[in-house]
Structure 1
Amino acid sequence: MLRKIAVADLTLGMYIHEFCRPRANDPFWTLHVERELRDEAVLQRIQQSSREVWIDTGRGNSPDEPNPPQVQAPTTVALGDTAPASMDEELARARLICGRAKAAVMTMFSDARMGRSMNTEDVDLLVEEISNSVMRHPHALISLSRLKTSDEYTYMHSVAVCALMVALARQMGLSDDQVREAGVAGLMHDVGKMMIAPAILNKPDRLTAEEYQAMKYHPQAGHKILKGSQQVTAVVKDVCLHHHEKMDGSGYPHGLKGEEISMFARMSAICDVYDAVTSDRPYKKGWDAASSIREMASWRGHFDEQIFQHFVKTIGIYPVGTLVRLKSERLGVVIEQSEQSLLRPKVKVFLSTHSRASLEPKVVDLTHPLEQDAIVKFELAADWGIEDVDRMWAADAATPV
């Protein structure tokens, strides 16, 4: 049952359905609707910034309860929740995060286009939520964020690069502050695209040489947007300006080479390209994750080789969603990475490669001590007439957010 209550009566454990928003363009209000209130800091901000709120008493505590029950394990995402979760559990959470994050990034980028200042508190809040998801399960949100439609690419690309930067920074052993800064840089690296003509940015065909030159201005445009803000760090501004530089000096806008490129910009170059090449665009279908890793590894002079090796360890040699052939002549899709071995993930098998007959779907854990099966090679879905591999590992979660 929906009820409108004063924020003074709002308590932890209540389920927020909607705000009577005082600031419609503030991403904070987008991030915290349709969820159980579990964070004291969020409660305090709501009580300081609003007067009334709609709650759903059928999904959370009611103000009529004299002694509200203790809040149990969360059914939705809580900002401070970093306890490990299974892939299935985190996929459900990640879907909610992706939806909220897309709306928040759209608002932030729209503000940038209109010349309004960015609310860094809300950026930090969004990065924290993405970072916590990566901590709970490092592959759920990263895998799900690849499943984006072409019309939402610009916004979801920023969310995906944020998650990849956070995961990569953690894998590299960077400090918590550096991990957060890497996430913010990933989220804001493409803000300059808001200053590119929509006809170019959203063109359903390949760009002409002239249009490509116009598109190449987006790093400078983004840096121009961010450089006036004292709240945006030098690292974030640098990543925005230099995420298209290459180790051999052939990148843009400044043709920086090797160590002239900052560590964070070298990280972002890898994360940016990986999400770009694995995403469907109007003029091309994205590469599968495993093929992308192999292709990127062959681009000599493009990426920092040491950081790229860290990136491979971050997402796996056979990333989630990779179609693989097993020694047992079964075809399957990777559904989860193994902490024990990059070569032995969990695979959902569903087809006989010998007879091409469908099999009853079964999850094979290749790290199990009694499991004798192993991956022989990765396969291309088109070679097997499979149109949607992602449905086989993400089920309903594979629907683009």
Structure 2
Amino acid sequence: MIRKIASERLRPGMYIHELGGSWMSHPFWRSRFEIRSDEDVQRILDAGIDEVYIDTERGIDDRLAVDAEEVREQLVKEMVAVVPLAKPRESWEPIPVSAELRRAREVHGQAHRAVHDVMRDVRMGRAIQTGAVSEVVETITGSIMRSPSALIGMVGLKDKDNYTFLHSVSVGTLMIAFGRTLGMEGETLHELGMGGLLHDVGKMKVPNEVLNKPGRLSDAEFEIIKRHPVDGHQVLVETGGLGDIPLDITRHHHERKDGSGYPDRQKEDEISRFARMAAIVDVYDAITADRCYHKAMEPTEALRKMWEWSAQQFDRELLQVFMKCIGIYPIGSLVRLESGLIGVVVEQNPGSLLTPKVKTVYHSKSMRHVTPAIVDLSQAADKIASTEAAGRWPVDPALHIRGEA
């Protein structure tokens, strides 16, 4: 079947039957071909071709291709406003994210150094300085309370060469934010943060050649990796002075609802609520990070995939709350608005998952940078049309999250 669609709906796997306009007005030597990459799509857009004809028998149908609009509709229908959220008893008024950015950078750096020191001590067989970790948890909690978006934005910025350390910082930060969204506070919230920061200490017992292997692990190597929750739990037991929650999170963050996880093959309600939270946060942070052996998923796509997996792997109600915590369009997401503006999500709107604050920096139609501006989509006529792959546009989200651009 031949269908006419807007060029911006093109996706790899579609088959072009005819390009709109005169054959002399585009740079392609043939008019019928398969779209094999995002670069092919971009060449068509760059050529000013607004519409194309696709052959749905020779390629995928745009109505079956999952795009950002479908992701949004699916997530909203199934998740938004399903789980009532408890409110913390203490009152606090968040400050603007711009006012917290400098402190958030300092907190993130402090947390990174503390985790690095802990991992080094474990690798060298020395006792963990839990007091330093506890102080970091307090500073993270303070930043989350003042302005959640600032520090949550920082955790999305990762250096694959320091992945193990930054992953632990991210999990600790997101666990605190997740817990607050659920109404947790006090010592419980503190222990959640401790568990998140320390959950991977057992990886320091894994040989470097296995932990940092650039390719796929062999079955034997994966069995070595799978020992890290037990090894980490033992390290923390020997350290002493830690509550039950950090111990539980460290041992059980790889357990899965269907019993397919490790090390104890727990399932369903055998897995504590805290470990189920950690499983969600750990996987989300891992799949949205660039690693030497896989490319990071875009945040919205990662949430969609996790929603699919939740039937077997995750607590679906907790996943719904986590999505409310970080938003359908998490901080750092690159998005295209209906106006054609390209922007970076820099802050969530507590009242709506679909209308974050976006810093617009580029225009997809005129192909030029624009004067940066913060657009509050809860008060603007513009709306998000799609999420965009990193690298498709000359925009570095990291610079805007750090406040450096």
What's the TM-score once normalised by structure 1's chain length? 0.74
Query: Aligned to 1:326, which of 311, 327, 337?
Result: 337
Superposition map of 1:223-242 within 5 A: 223-242=233-252
Question: Are the aligned partners of 1:348 and 1:393 in contact in 2 as well (CA < 8 Å)?
Answer: no
Query: Aligned to 2:270, which of 248, 257, 260?
Result: 260
Matches of 2:284 and 2:196, distance apart in 1: 13
Q: Does 1:158 align with 2:158?
A: no
Matches of 1:170 and 1:307, distance apart in 2: 13
Greater displacement, 387-396 / 161-170? 387-396
Count how many residue pairs are aligned between Structure 1 and Structure 2.
313
Letter aligned with residue 382 of structure 2: D
Q: Does 1:374 align with 2:355?
A: no
Letter aligned with residue 384 of structure 2: I
Matches of 1:175 and 1:89, distance apart in 2: 24
Question: Are the aligned partners of 1:151 and 1:202 in contact in 2 as well (CA < 8 Å)?
Answer: no
Query: Aligned to 2:145, which of 135, 145, 164?
Result: 135
- Quote the offset at 1:173 in angstroms: 0.8
Superposition map of 1:114-193 within 5 A: 114-193=124-203
**Cα 1:365/1:387, change in 2 over 3 Å:** closer
- Quote the offset at 1:267 in angstroms: 0.5
Residue in 2 that maps onto 1:16: none
Residue in 1 that maps onto 2:319: 308
**Residue deviations 1:61-119, cap 9 Å, x none?**
xxxxxxxxxxxxxxxxxxxxx87332123221121122222121121222223333323
Residue in 1 that maps onto 2:292: 282
- Quote the offset at 1:377 in angstroms: 2.4
Matches of 2:197 and 2:242, distance apart in 1: 12
Question: Are the aligned partners of 2:210 and 2:217 in contact in 1 as well (CA < 8 Å)?
Answer: yes
- Quote the offset at 1:122 in angstroms: 2.2
**Cα 1:220/1:385, change in 2 over 3 Å:** same
**Residue deviations 1:137-193, cap 9 Å, x none?**
112212212212122111111111000000000000123211111001101100100
Structure 1 residue matching 2:367: 3-state secondary structure: coil
Residue in 1 that maps onto 2:404: 396
Letter aligned with residue 353 of structure 2: L
Greater displacement, 155-164 / 100-109? 100-109
Question: Are the aligned partners of 1:245 and 1:252 in contact in 2 as well (CA < 8 Å)?
Answer: yes
Q: Does 1:353 align with 2:364?
A: yes
Matches of 1:378 and 1:208, distance apart in 2: 35
Letter aligned with residue 111 of structure 2: A
Matches of 1:206 and 1:396, distance apart in 2: 36
- Quote the offset at 1:234 in angstroms: 1.8
Matches of 2:107 and 2:387, distance apart in 1: 30
Matches of 1:89 and 1:344, distance apart in 2: 21
Question: Are the aligned partners of 1:111 and 1:117 in contact in 2 as well (CA < 8 Å)?
Answer: yes
Matches of 1:206 and 1:386, distance apart in 2: 31
- Quote the offset at 1:387 in angstroms: 6.2
Question: Are the aligned partners of 1:247 and 1:304 in contact in 2 as well (CA < 8 Å)?
Answer: yes
Matches of 1:85 and 1:263, distance apart in 2: 30
What's the TM-score once normalised by structure 2's chain length? 0.73
Matches of 1:305 and 1:174, distance apart in 2: 19
Question: Are the aligned partners of 2:361 and 2:395 in contact in 1 as well (CA < 8 Å)?
Answer: no
Structure 2 stretches lacking a partner, 5+ long: 1-91
- Quote the offset at 1:374 in angstroms: 1.5
Greater displacement, 108-117 / 284-293? 108-117
Question: Are the aligned partners of 2:100 and 2:147 in contact in 1 as well (CA < 8 Å)?
Answer: yes
Structure 2 residue matching 1:298: 3-state secondary structure: helix
Matches of 2:404 and 2:341, distance apart in 1: 24
Letter aligned with residue 404 of structure 2: D
Query: Aligned to 1:95, which of 105, 111, 117?
Result: 105
**Cα 1:358/1:205, change in 2 over 3 Å:** same
Structure 1 stretches lacking a partner, 5+ long: 1-81
- Quote the offset at 1:360 in angstroms: 2.8
Residue in 2 that maps onto 1:14: none
Matches of 1:229 and 1:283, distance apart in 2: 33
Structure 2 residue matching 1:147: 3-state secondary structure: coil
Matches of 1:304 and 1:157, distance apart in 2: 21
Identity %: 44
